[in-house]
């Protein structure tokens, strides 16, 4: 049976996640902005209780053994509610620690005693299994113990305290704290190379899911606004220009999400096209999130340009997510260098 | 959720793959005239005799009536094998046959369906008019009842294959103009009926099979009406959601092959700087990479639609999303080809005719619902925006 759609149980899982998020972490929480760490931190113990980090970890390793596709569905909701990528960092670190049989670190991550955040590689920095050197960006890393950084070679967990010269920049994304720092021949605490475990492909697809959720958020916001806002005696959504903006958003969402689902299943089933399909998903979801974010501002007119309104929150988050694990240009370069194995 | 094909599916895939490999015509398809029709008819008959015609049609009329997944597999393998497109058989197979199957009388079904599957009948469509394109419901070709006949007067345009067609699914006005789409009927028109004049139209590509058709007191039997008088709008514009979605996989696999052949060309030919291969030009590389992502997404979209159909969800306006995406993607890919070829694109036949294919693709966002109309449909029927 070929079926890339979520079944009933999966829909229930999605609903329970969405209910929690709309209740505890609604998008309005980010309106104050100004670089404060978002409220997820306050809810960390509850999130741990919900088992979100260990969803797709094998049961033998202390996880819940859910299919990867289920996790992808959850991350779409995380994206829709503009969650900090810290949740992704913790999930990835947990899987890496478990794979490396570091039971102590795995346990600390699972119970919240050790906390992880995302690190980004600046272009001239070097990054590999032996060391990291140069300039890095850390996202929401205050009170964080370990940093997760990866590229096509592999995935590394580093101790935050081993980085130097921390400096908080004025973040483009007001909902996040961006810290620039230096590394000098920094050895990872844990290293997993992509050949032994598809962690970077999983990361690619999970980020894609977050971008997809983000893109759907702006599509829905624009459509909602187009139905309500009236000018010239009618809802602006009845004017073709606005209608077509919304239609374009819908097309971007549908194509990007279908590809994300397919990539998730291709990876789970170990299909030869998984890497290729994952890059494809990452490219399309990024394009969807950023373009939809931009058009959503446009559809909102003057209001869209204000700090108080939500369109700017989504757009800025989209740009943040885009940089995780390499931005869209990186993935385009990767995709053109691969062979299409389905031919 | 899974992408697993069963053992039976895989066996079926092997069977069709080897049959196609052994049986597809190797000579090039003639693009015009009686040779073209003969080629298309012969290939269609061959498929019919092997049991591969009318994959979703009832066995009673010669169809195979196989499962959705088997149809998906058939179209995937068909495209992988590089089998020729159905050519002038396409309207009979993809549209006219379906509407007769869903709405026709038993007499109409017996008269046409099997012949369509055997490649013995060629069909065309008579929908658009010079004054009725996007606003199709405003069409004016009228049919007046006279005893047991309809007398047709008017004109149709953009009809493909009308010069080789035996029959036409003709949309005519049988009630006053004010009733718009409620006054239309779909009638089977024998193209040999006296009073029909076919005037070919040359396209910007130089060939295709467009024509304008003039109807001068053309008498058609009333019993040729399909689905009842004044019911033509619903009958003729049946979106054929499920089958449309599945056959899209054929287009998608073909597009993957076309794109990959373009990537090969880009690796082989010198690019804009005259030194490195075209693929080293970053702008070309990025556009090719994005096209690769989009072509795979098209496949995923089709799988999603198939999944929905299997779950019993009748495909509706979301079909417009795939159609719009596909048509614009095809155009983008053809445009990349022109940019890769650089000055050589001035030779319309270079590299198997990519530049001509670029010109040919302007119709993709115009025919069968312009992209502007598709966006209106998506906005209104999928997103619920007001008219």
Cα dist from A308 to A33, A145, A171, B87, whole Å: 10, 33, 17, 57
pLDDT for the residue numbered A67: 96
Q: Chain A residues with CB inside 8 Å of B383's CB?
A: 223, 246-247, 250
Q: How far is CA A162 from the centre of its chain?
A: 25
Among residues of chain B, what percentage have pLDDT more than 90?
A: 80
Nearest to A247 among B72, B311, B375 (CB): B375
Q: Which tokens go with A315?
A: 């757009």
Residue B290 CB coordination number (10 Å): 22
Report phi then psi at A54, rounded to 5.
Answer: -105, 15
Which residues lie closer than 8 Å to B387 by C-beta, 6 or more apart?
A238, B380
- The whole-angstrom separation of Cα B78 and Cα A106 is 49
CB pairs under 8 A between A and B: 170
Nearest to B383 among A2, A223, A269 (CB): A223
- The whole-angstrom separation of Cα B349 and Cα B347 is 5
Cβ pair A287:B378 closer than 8 A: no
- Ordered per-residue pLDDT tens for chain A, 343 residues: 679 999 999 999 999 999 999 999 999 999 876 545 567 778 888 998 899 999 999 999 999 999 999 999 999 999 999 999 999 999 999 999 999 999 999 999 999 999 999 999 999 999 988 899 999 999 999 889 999 999 888 999 999 999 999 999 999 999 999 999 999 999 999 999 988 889 999 999 999 999 999 999 999 999 999 999 999 999 999 999 999 999 999 999 999 999 999 999 999 999 999 999 999 999 999 999 999 999 999 999 999 999 999 999 999 999 999 999 999 999 999 999 999 888 7
Residue B211 CB coordination number (10 Å): 21
pLDDT for the residue numbered A33: 60
Q: Chain B residues with CB inside 8 Å of A256's CB?
A: 297
Nearest to A4 among B3, B256, B384 (CB): B3
Q: Chain A residues with CB inside 8 Å of B290's CB?
A: 283, 287, 332
Helix residue spans in chain B (DSSP H) = 7-23, 33-49, 68-80, 90-91, 97-103, 106-117, 232-236, 241-268, 282-310, 319-341, 350-360, 371-377
Chain B contact for A112, CB < 8 A?
Answer: no
Chain A 229-268, residues with CB within 8 Å of chain B CB atoms = 234-235, 237-238, 240, 242-244, 246-248, 250-251, 254-256, 258-259, 261-263, 265-266
Question: Residue B243 — very low, low, confident or very high, per pLDDT cuts 50/70/90?
Answer: confident
Cβ pair B372:A343 closer than 8 A: no
- Burial-class residue B7 by CB neighbours within 10 Å (0-12, 13-18, 19+): exposed
Chain A 116-135, residues with CB within 8 Å of chain B CB atoms = none
pLDDT for the residue numbered A37: 58
Nearest to A258 among B285, B301, B374 (CB): B301
Which H, E and C letters describe chain A, residue by residue?
Answer: CEECCCCHHHHHHHHHHHHHHHHHCCHHHHCCCCCCCCHHHHHHHHHHHHCHHHCCCCHHHCCCCCCHHHHHHHHHHHHHCCCCCHHHHHHHHHHHHHHCCCHHHHHHHHHCCCCEEEEEECCCCEECCCCEEEEEEEECCCCCCEEEEECCCEEEEEEHHHCEEEEECCCCCCCCCEEEEEEEEECCCEEEECCCCCHHHHHHHHHHHHHHHHHHHHHHHHHHHHHHCEECCEEHHHCHHHHHHHHHHHHHHHHHHHHHHHHHHHHHCCCCCHHHHHHHHHHHHHHHHHHHHHHHHHHCHHHHCCCCCCHHHHHHHHHHHHCCCCCHHHHHHHHHHCCCCCC
For the cut 80, the answer to whether the pLDDT of residue B353 exceeds it is: yes
ipTM: 0.94
pLDDT for the residue numbered A94: 97
pLDDT digits (tens, 9 = 90+) for B62-91: 999 999 889 999 999 999 999 998 999 999
Residue B243 known to be catalytic: yes
Cβ pair B375:A1 closer than 8 A: no
Report phi then psi at A196, rounded to 5.
Answer: -85, -25
Chain B contact for A195, CB < 8 A?
Answer: no
Question: Residue B310 — very low, low, confident or very high, per pLDDT cuts 50/70/90?
Answer: confident
- Of the listed B70, B121, B243, B318, which one is catalytic? B243
- B-interface mutation test, from A5, A14, A224, most B Cβ less than 10 A away: A5
pLDDT for the residue numbered B237: 83
Going by their DSSP bridges, the two strands A116-121 and A146-150 should be labelled as parallel
pLDDT for the residue numbered A32: 72
Nearest to B293 among A223, A269, A284 (CB): A284
Question: Residue B343 — very low, low, confident or very high, per pLDDT cuts 50/70/90?
Answer: very high
Cα dist from A285 to A210, A313, A319, whole Å: 9, 17, 12
Question: Residue B239 — very low, low, confident or very high, per pLDDT cuts 50/70/90?
Answer: low
Q: Chain A residues with CB inside 8 Å of B374's CB?
A: 247
Q: Chain A residues with CB inside 8 Å of B323's CB?
A: none
pLDDT for the residue numbered B150: 98
Q: Which of A252-261, B109-118, B196-205 has the lowest mean pLDDT?
A: B196-205
Asked whether the whole model's pTM tops 0.90, one would answer yes
Cβ pair A244:B379 closer than 8 A: yes
- The whole-angstrom separation of Cα A280 and Cα A261 is 11
pLDDT digits (tens, 9 = 90+) for B158-189: 999 998 999 999 999 999 888 899 999 999 99
pLDDT digits (tens, 9 = 90+) for B7-63: 999 999 999 999 999 999 999 999 888 899 999 999 999 999 999 999 999 999 999
pLDDT for the residue numbered A1: 65
């Amino acid at each position: 049976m070929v079926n890339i759609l979520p079944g009933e149980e999966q829909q229930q899982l999605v609903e329970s996640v969405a209910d929690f998020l709309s209740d505890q972490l609604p998008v309005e929480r980010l309106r104050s902005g100004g670089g404060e760490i978002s409220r997820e931190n306050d809810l960390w113990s509850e999130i741990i209780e919900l088992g979100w980090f260990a969803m797709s970890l094998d049961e033998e390793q202390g996880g819940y053994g859910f299919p990867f596709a289920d996790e992808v569905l959850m991350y779409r909701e995380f994206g829709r509610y503009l969650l900090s990528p810290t949740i992704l960092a913790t999930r990835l670190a947990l899987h890496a620690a478990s794979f490396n049989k570091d039971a102590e670190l795995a346990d600390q991550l699972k119970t919240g005693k050790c906390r992880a955040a995302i690190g980004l590689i600046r272009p001239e920095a070097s990054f590999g299994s032996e060391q990291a050197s140069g300039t890095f960006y850390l996202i929401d890393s205050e009170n964080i113990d370990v940093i997760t950084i990866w590229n096509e070679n592999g995935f590394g967990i580093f101790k935050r305290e081993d980085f130097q010269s921390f400096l908080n920049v004025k973040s483009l994304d007001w909902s996040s704290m961006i810290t620039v720092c230096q590394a000098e021949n920094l050895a990872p605490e844990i290293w997993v190379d992509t050949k032994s475990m598809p962690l970077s492909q999983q990361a690619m697809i999970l980020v894609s899911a977050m971008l997809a959720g983000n893109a759907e958020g702006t599509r829905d916001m624009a459509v909602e606004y187009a139905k309500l806002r009236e000018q010239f005696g009618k809802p602006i959504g009845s004017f073709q220009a606005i209608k077509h903006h919304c239609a374009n958003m819908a097309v971007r969402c549908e194509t990007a999400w279908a590809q994300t689902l397919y990539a998730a299943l291709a990876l789970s089933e170990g299909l030869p096209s998984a890497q290729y399909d994952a890059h494809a998903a990452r490219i399309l979801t990024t394009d969807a999130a950023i373009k939809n974010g931009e058009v959503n501002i446009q559809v909102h007119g003057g209001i869209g340009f204000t700090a108080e309104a939500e369109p700017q929150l989504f757009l800025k988050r989209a740009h943040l997510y885009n940089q995780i694990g390499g931005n869209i240009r990186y993935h385009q370069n990767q995709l053109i260098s691969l062979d299409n194995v389905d031919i | 959720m899974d992408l697993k094909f069963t053992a039976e599916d895989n066996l079926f895939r092997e069977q069709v793959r080897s049959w196609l490999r052994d049986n597809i015509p190797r000579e090039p398809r003639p693009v015009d005239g009686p040779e073209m029709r003969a080629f298309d008819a012969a290939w269609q008959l061959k498929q019919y005799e092997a049991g591969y015609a009318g994959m979703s049609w009832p066995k009673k009329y010669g169809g195979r009536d196989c499962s959705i997944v088997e149809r998906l597999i058939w179209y995937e393998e068909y495209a992988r094998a590089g089998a020729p497109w159905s050519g002038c058989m396409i309207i009979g197979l993809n549209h006219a046959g379906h509407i007769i199957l869903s709405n026709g009388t038993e007499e109409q079904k017996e008269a046409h369906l099997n012949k369509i599957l055997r490649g013995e009948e060629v069909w065309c469509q008579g929908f658009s008019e010079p004054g009725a394109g996007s606003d199709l419901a405003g069409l004016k070709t009228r049919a007046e009842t006279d005893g047991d006949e309809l007398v047709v007067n008017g004109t149709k345009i953009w009809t493909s294959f009308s010069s080789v067609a035996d029959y036409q699914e003709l949309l005519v006005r049988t009630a006053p103009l004010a009733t718009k789409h409620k006054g239309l009927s779909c009638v089977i028109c024998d193209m040999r009926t006296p009073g029909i004049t076919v005037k070919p139209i040359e396209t910007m590509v130089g060939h295709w099979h467009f024509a304008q058709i003039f109807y001068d007191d053309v008498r058609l039997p009333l019993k040729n009406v399909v689905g009842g008088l004044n019911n033509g709008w619903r009958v003729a514009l049946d979106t054929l959601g499920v089958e449309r979605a599945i056959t899209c996989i054929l287009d998608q696999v073909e597009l993957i092959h076309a794109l990959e052949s373009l990537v090969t060309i880009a690796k082989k030919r010198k690019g804009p700087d005259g030194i490195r291969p075209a693929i080293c030009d970053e702008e070309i590389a990025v556009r090719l990479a994005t096209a690769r992502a989009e072509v795979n997404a098209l496949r995923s979209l089709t799988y999603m639609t198939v999944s929905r159909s299997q779950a019993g969800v009748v495909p509706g306006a979301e079909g417009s999303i795939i159609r719009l995406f596909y048509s614009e993607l095809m155009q983008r890919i053809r445009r990349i080809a022109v940019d890769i070829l650089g000055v050589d694109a001035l030779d319309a036949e270079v590299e198997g005719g990519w530049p001509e294919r670029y010109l040919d693709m302007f119709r993709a966002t115009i025919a069968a619902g312009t992209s502007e109309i598709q966006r209106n449909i998506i906005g209104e029927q999928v997103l619920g925006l007001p008219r």
